[in-house]
């Protein structure tokens, strides 16, 4: 085999030497260096490589392209010594030595065979994309290497890599860097006008670049919608010698191959792509890249269970990766549709997927691996605790985990299916009722975007999917059949018909939705609202099961759902429907009420009012009302507000164990200081303000209670004997007092055991401010002279002595005639 003259060839000896001596290496090589195809081929001939090499790629398109390129270099067909394996397509034979797999496939491989029998090396390509499957796969591979397979080689490769962090994770193995691209790239900037849609700017940039430069064009846009709109705008702008083609994940293999295939002689190609074209593939003939600077990333909200897509700026690493596409085969041009000054503000790398993903699948896999604490595995970024907690709660609801976090028998079956946990639970429950084939078709439909169209109604989408032609649809149906054949069936129902809603009940019990508030407006069992356009066919449905939605929690938009009847819900989920008396807070009346209710989560099937409650249960309902409305809803008296301010002052100035009484903490601790003192209240308006003071005092440790008045007194007793309230509502305690009442006082008043001086707001006899000071003695000796000169003319009937430190304090004016 003769290797092509690519930059990576210069460092291949370093790579082979590193893996001959050790079992780990990190490779950083820029786009076009040839790492994806040449590194596996070179390692295949090493003495230690007696088994297979597994090469991980982030996308199916990249996996197929890498396998095809390596097979071509070997003058073989894909499936001979080089093959690929992915969810809907395998090309592997008994002679295959290099398997190119998608990252999710590798995670399943290692979970099913922890020893990785017959595997000599695992290569993580384009690791900078930081997919959840890649992070998890690397953590598992390192665990296997440390415990079972010291001979296993692990290589992490990327064009744009945070090398230092990855090297630390791998215990600082050799780091090999390949310098330079194959060809130079001229980076140009063209700022997008304010408020102009990105497809407008992109269309103009493509037309101008097509006119001014030779070669094919690769344009990066954030998503399918922008690609479709740009295709529409480009119609009729070029002759037959220029082909405009889209490139994104939901296209068939033939459509993707059309995009990456070289343009025919004498023609040019304009490829409109998502981030799918950033890595591992070469689109021959491209020498112009136009980058929108945008990408679409999924963001998962654990509290709502919703994954929404956000359009965000690309990272600097992605921008460099995209620009590198222009220099793969000849000198190129990269046009960036933003101001050059904005480049420095781009984040260095895209956020790791593990920090913003639904972790239910990861949680199930961790349980299968026997790991309770993810910290025991070498994650570059550990899974966030809140998302992991919500994931495990969902798995318990789906009966995949038991109360101690171990896998149930159903959980083991779910883990064995090539489906996300929700859909695996649906397939198993449906198979028990004789609906295995329909459930698996629906599950595959939901995991392979674009199949069956984009209709919200999943019954309609499923109907179209069954009749859909094309290789991708056929492969998806075959996958569904394979999954169905692996399911245990307990009924001899011959897969009689089942509506999508009936099947989805077992996947999304928390997203059963009841129409409330009018056509197209629904409340889900998890308490969140969701909407459909009023013109949609499902908008009139009384109940739905929602399979996919996007948007913020307060106003989520339904993307995929199916109609369901109430009788089906009550029959299938009878164990989850609760009936009994409950207290609740009615925000409209600000009162606690009671009712006999039958409900599924937030969906109420029936209710009957009960007598108004009091006692602890009512107090807890009141607390929920306070959480909903905020602390301002409570009738704090002037004394209770001052008490709270005094406690807060001591917490800020002295610290623990004086309690924090900020809004955030008080709302979080309502069960401690509020609920125990509201046994007689039935509404916010019937709360005794004194009970709020009692509750606040209860937060003070017993041994400190007697110190409250000494350290933060409510009043200051002036030399006249008059008591004046001290304010603690600011950063410092403040005393407002007429200056005449402090005559004769030589030391400055202080609190906190004399350690913190009061801020004195000295006022005139008319209670108007004349001076603020933290040093009374200094004021008497200094600026008093100027104050006295001004005030004696304005208030001649009041005393203004030359030496106030020796004068007699008073609250009175001078007697007449003096």
Give backbone dihedrals phi and psi of 301, rounded to 5 degrees, phi first: -105, 105
Residue 688 is predicted with a pLDDT of 93
| 412 band by pLDDT with thresholds 50, 70 and 90 | very high
Containing H/E element for 206?
Answer: helix 198-212
Q: Which of 747, 804, 733 is nearest to 775 (CA)?
A: 747
Query: What is the Cα–Cα distance from 573 to 598, expressed in whole angstroms?
Result: 13
Give backbone dihedrals phi and psi of 172, rounded to 5 degrees, phi first: 55, 60
pLDDT for 207 beyond 90? yes
Q: Which position has the token pair 């009550």?
A: 570
pLDDT for 267 beyond 80? yes
* 458-498: pLDDT as tens digits: 999 999 999 998 888 898 999 999 999 888 866 555 545 68
Containing H/E element for 244?
Answer: strand 242-247
How many CA atoms does the CB half-sphere of 496 hold within 13 Å? Answer: 5
Query: Cα–Cα distances in Å, from 540 out to 53, 515, 520, 535?
Result: 55, 8, 6, 9
Looking at domain 185-354, its CATH superfamily turns out to be P-loop containing nucleotide triphosphate hydrolases (3.40.50.300)
DSSP type of residue 277: G
**Which residue spans of the chain are classified as CATH 3.40.50.300?**
7-177, 185-354
Q: Could you tell me the two tokens for 368?
A: 């299968």
Residue count (the chain)? 818
* 739-796: pLDDT as tens digits: 999 999 989 999 988 888 999 999 998 889 999 999 999 999 899 999 998 898 888 8
For residues 579-603, give the mean pLDDT: 91
Query: Cα–Cα distances in Å, from 497 out to 213, 328, 439, 455?
Result: 58, 53, 10, 20
Q: Could you tell me the two tokens for 204?
A: 């103009």
If DSSP codes are grouped into helix, strand and coil, which group holds residue 217?
A: strand
Query: What is the Cα–Cα distance from 111 to 678, expressed in whole angstroms?
Result: 54
* 636-664: pLDDT as tens digits: 999 999 999 999 999 988 888 999 999 99
Residue 158 or 462, more confident: 462
Residue 493 or 164, more confident: 164
Q: Which position has the token pair 């008296």?
A: 637
Give backbone dihedrals phi and psi of 361, rounded to 5 degrees, phi first: -65, -40
Residue 594 is predicted with a pLDDT of 92
Residue 231 near residue 258 (C-beta atoms within 8 A)? no
Query: What is the Cα–Cα distance from 300 to 586, expressed in whole angstroms?
Result: 31
Containing H/E element for 12?
Answer: helix 12-21
* 87-107: pLDDT as tens digits: 878 899 999 999 999 988 999
Q: What is the largest CA-CA distance in the chain?
A: 121
* 681-712: pLDDT as tens digits: 999 999 999 999 999 999 999 888 888 988 99
Backbone region of residue 34 per phi and psi (left: phi > 0; alpha: psi in -120 to 50; beta: other values):
left
**Which residue spans of the chain are classified as CATH 1.20.120.1080?**
358-503
Query: What is the Cα–Cα distance from 143 to 123, expressed in whole angstroms?
Result: 15
pTM: 0.74
Q: Considering the domain 358-503, what is its CATH architecture? A: Up-down Bundle (1.20)
Q: Which position has the token pair 């009442």?
A: 741
* CATH class belonging to 7-177: alpha beta
Strands (E), 29-97: 52-57, 82-85, 90-91
If DSSP codes are grouped into helix, strand and coil, which group holds residue 431?
A: helix
């Amino acid at each position: 085999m003769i290797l092509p003259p690519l930059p990576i060839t210069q460092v291949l000896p370093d790579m082979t030497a590193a893996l001959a001596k050790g079992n780990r290496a990190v490779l950083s090589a820029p786009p076009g260096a040839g790492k994806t195809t040449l590194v596996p081929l070179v390692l295949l001939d090493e003495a230690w490589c007696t088994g297979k090499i597994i090469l991980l790629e982030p996308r199916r398109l990249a996996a197929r392209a890498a396998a095809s390129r390596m097979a071509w270099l070997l003058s073989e067909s894909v499936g001979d010594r080089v093959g690929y394996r992915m969810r809907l397509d395998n090309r592997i034979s008994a002679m295959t030595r290099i398997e190119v797999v998608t990252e999710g496939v590798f995670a399943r491989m290692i979970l099913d065979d922890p020893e990785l029998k017959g595997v000599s090396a695992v290569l993580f390509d384009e690791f900078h994309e930081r997919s959840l499957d890649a992070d998890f796969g690397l953590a598992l591979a390192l665990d296997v290497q440390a415990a079972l397979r010291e001979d296993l080689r692990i290589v992490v490769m990327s064009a744009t890599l945070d090398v230092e962090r990855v090297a630390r994770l791998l215990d600082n193995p050799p780091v090999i860097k390949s310098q330079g691209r194959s060809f130079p790239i001229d980076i140009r900037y063209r700022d997008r006008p304010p408020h102009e849609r990105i497809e407008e700017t992109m269309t103009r940039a493509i037309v101008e670049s097509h006119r001014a430069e030779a070669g094919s064009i690769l344009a990066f846009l954030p998503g399918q919608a922008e690609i479709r709109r740009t295709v529409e705008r480009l119609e009729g702008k070029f002759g037959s010698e220029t082909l405009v083609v889209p490139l994104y994940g939901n296209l068939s293999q033939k459509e993707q191959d059309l995009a990456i295939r070289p343009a025919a002689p004498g023609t040019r190609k304009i490829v409109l792509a998502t981030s799918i074209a950033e890595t591992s593939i070469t689109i021959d003939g491209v020498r112009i890249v136009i980058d929108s600077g945008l990408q679409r990333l999924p963001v998962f909200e654990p509290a709502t269970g919703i994954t929404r897509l956000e359009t965000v700026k690309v990272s600097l690493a992605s921008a460099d990766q995209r620009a590198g596409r222009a220099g793969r085969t000849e000198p190129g041009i990269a046009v960036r549709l933003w101001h050059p000054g904005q480049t420095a503000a781009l984040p260095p790398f895209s956020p790791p997927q593990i920090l913003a993903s639904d972790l239910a699948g990861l949680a199930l896999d961790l349980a299968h691996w026997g790991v309770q604490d993810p910290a025991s595995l070498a994650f570059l970024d550990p899974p966030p605790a809140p998302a992991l907690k919500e994931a495990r709660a969902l798995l318990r609801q789906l009966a995949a985990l038991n109360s101690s976090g171990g896998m149930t028998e159903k959980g083991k079956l779910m883990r064995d299916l090539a489906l996300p946990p929700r859909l695996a639970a649906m397939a198993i429950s449906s198979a028990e009722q004789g609906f295995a084939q329909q459930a698996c078709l629906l599950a595959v439909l939901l995991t392979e975007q674009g199949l069956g169209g984009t209709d919200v109604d999943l019954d309609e989408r499923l109907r179209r999917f069954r009749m859909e032609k094309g290789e991708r649809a056929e492969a998806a149906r075959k996958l569904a059949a394979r999954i169905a054949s692996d399911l245990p069936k307990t009924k001899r129902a011959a897969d009689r018909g089942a509506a999508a809603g009936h099947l989805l009940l077992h996947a999304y019990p928390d997203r059963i939705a009841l129409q409330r508030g009018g056509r197209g407006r629904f409340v889900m069992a998890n308490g969140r609202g969701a909407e459909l356009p009023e013109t949609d066919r499902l908008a009139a449905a009384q109940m739905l099961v929602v399979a996919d939605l996007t948007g913020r929690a307060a106003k989520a938009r339904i993307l995929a759902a199916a109609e369901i009847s109430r009788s089906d819900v009550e029959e299938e989920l009878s164990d989850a429907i609760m009936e009994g008396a409950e207290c609740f807070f009615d925000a409209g009346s600000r009162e606690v009420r009671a009712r006999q209710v039958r409900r599924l989560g937030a969906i109420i099937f029936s209710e009957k009012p009960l007598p108004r409650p009091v006692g602890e249960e009512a107090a807890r309902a009141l607390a929920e009302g306070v959480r909903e409305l905020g602390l301002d809803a409570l009738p704090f008296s002037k004394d209770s507000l001052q008490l709270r301010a005094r406690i807060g002052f001591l917490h800020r100035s002295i610290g623990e164990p004086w309690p924090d009484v900020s809004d955030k903490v008080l709302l979080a601790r309502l069960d401690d200081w509020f609920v125990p003192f509201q046994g007689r209240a039935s509404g916010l308006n019937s709360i005794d303000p004194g009970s709020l003071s009692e509750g606040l005092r209860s937060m003070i440790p017993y041994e400190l209670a007697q110190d409250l008045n000494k350290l933060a007194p409510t009043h200051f007793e002036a030399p006249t004997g008059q008591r004046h309230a001290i304010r603690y509502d600011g950063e410092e305690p403040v005393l407002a007092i007429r200056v005449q009442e402090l005559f004769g006082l030589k030391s400055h008043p202080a609190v906190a055991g004399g350690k913190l001086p009061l801020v004195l707001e000295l006022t005139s006899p008319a209670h108007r401010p004349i001076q603020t000071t933290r040093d009374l003695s200094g004021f008497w000796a200094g600026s008093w002279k100027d104050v006295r000169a001004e005030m004696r003319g304005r208030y001649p009937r009041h005393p203004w002595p030359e030496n106030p430190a020796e004068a007699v304090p008073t609250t009175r004016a001078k007697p007449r005639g003096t």
